Amino acid sequence: MSDFTDGFWSAYVAVLTLVSILACVLLLWITARKKVRSDGDNTTGHVWDVDLREMNNPMPRWWMWLFVITIVFGLGYLAVFPGLGTFAGTLGWSTRAEYQEEVDKAGRELAPLYARFAGKTPEALAADAEAMGIGERLFMNNCAQCHGSDARGSKGFPNLTDSDWLYGGTPAKIAETITQGRHGAMPPMAAAVGSSDDVRNVAHYVLSLSASPHDSLRAQMGKSKFTACAACHGVDGKGNQAVGAPNLADDTWLHGWGEQAIVAIVNNGKSSEMPAQTGRLSEAQIQVLASYVWGLSNKTAQRRP
């Protein structure tokens, strides 16, 4: 990807832009000087459909001047605005600066509203209808793309409305997750588990932990091989929120259920990432959003007057 962001491409775009404008100037100049032969009746001699003749009238002056104005405008635009590769333009304008200015303006306008929520506990915010309305809009704009508009997630994206948490479901942990993001990675474990048959046995043992349909004989043989997984998921398979290792003893399946899905994860590993929102959301917004997410799995707090 770096091949498309080095200095060569900036120079290439700048040269191509200028050559295109100069080509228009040259075309206009040649067209203005070219004389079309006339047959004496002010026609070019071209005839279509028996009696349709092309007249030899010059281009209207207004059209010519409009063309010239367009070329001058293009050169002027490239002088004051960024359009020639890395040249920033004499005005120093940029879309990034304009965006940041709008964000700062919105932040100043919303500051009094968020100031009302400062100092409140997550439980108090979860019971505040106005705060939850703002939290819902923040969620829709920043989280729903992955977790769904109902926050119930999908394959590979956690359900935020239940009590199953990879890194912990306290308001502080949720705020930490939103702020810093998360990168969950399980390395391929097939070599540590053993043969392909051992991997299948481990898969059935994992299924047995949640009382899911499984082959009891294979599960029994896979129990001893599960020690390769216990370092993260625990001896009892109930996971470890300190490292984001899922609880395998419940009936929640983030990346798919069944022997085939578990075997694939053991063989190939799994990597997933939630991007940090600290650069997009203010501290006050994260506070409200974290309280909203916490309230999704704590409905009694939201109903509290």
Would you say 294 and 140 are in contact if contact means Cβ atoms under 8 Å apart? Answer: no
The mean pLDDT value for 116-126 works out to 91
Tell me: the pLDDT tens digits for 139-162?
999 999 999 999 999 999 999 999
**47 three-class SS:** strand
* Token output for 79: 């002088």
Reported as a single tens digit per residue, the pLDDT across 69-120 is 999 999 999 999 988 888 888 998 998 899 889 988 988 898 898 899 988 9
Confidence of residue 304 (pLDDT cuts 50, 70, 90): very low
pLDDT digits (tens, 9 = 90+) for 171-197: 999 999 999 999 999 999 999 999 999
Q: What is the pLDDT of residue 5?
A: 60
Question: Which of 71-75, 107-111, 241-245, 271-275 comes out lowest in average pLDDT?
Answer: 107-111
Interval 286-304 mean pLDDT: 82
User: pLDDT at position 21, please?
Assistant: 92
Question: pTM of the predicted model, to two decimals?
Answer: 0.71
| Calpha distance 177→183 (Å, rounded) | 10
Dihedral angle sign, alpha carbons of residues 64, 66, 69, 74: negative
- Which pLDDT value is given to residue 273? 93
Average pLDDT on 12-24 reads 90
User: Model confidence at 3, in pLDDT bands (50, 70, 90)?
Assistant: low
Instruction: Give residue 33's identity as a one-letter amino acid code.
Output: R
Q: For strands 52-55 and 43-48, give the pairing.
A: antiparallel
| 3 state DSSP class of 3 | helix
Q: How confident is the model at residue 37 (pLDDT cuts 50, 70, 90)?
A: low
| Amino acid 39: pLDDT | 58
Looking at the chain, list the stretches that DSSP marks H as alpha helix, in order from N- to C-terminal side.
7-33, 61-80, 95-115, 122-126, 129-142, 144-147, 171-180, 190-193, 196-209, 216-222, 227-233, 259-268, 283-296, 299-303
Does residue 212 register a pLDDT over 60? yes
> In sequence order, what are the beta bridge partners of 271?
185
Predicted confidence (pLDDT) per residue in 60-78, tens digit = 888 888 989 999 999 999 9
Mean pLDDT taken over the chain:
89
Q: Which two tokens mark 166?
A: 């990879």
pLDDT exceeding 70 applies to what percent of the chain? 94
- Average pLDDT of 119-129? 92
pLDDT at 7 over 90: no
Residue 302 vs residue 110, higher pLDDT: 110
Classify residue 163 by its DSSP letter: S
Q: Examine the pLDDT at 1 and tell me if it is beyond 80.
A: no
Q: Which domains occur in the chain, in start order?
A: 1-29+44-93 (no CATH), 102-181+275-303 (1.10.760.10), 185-274 (1.10.760.10)
Which whole number is the average pLDDT over 261-287? Answer: 93
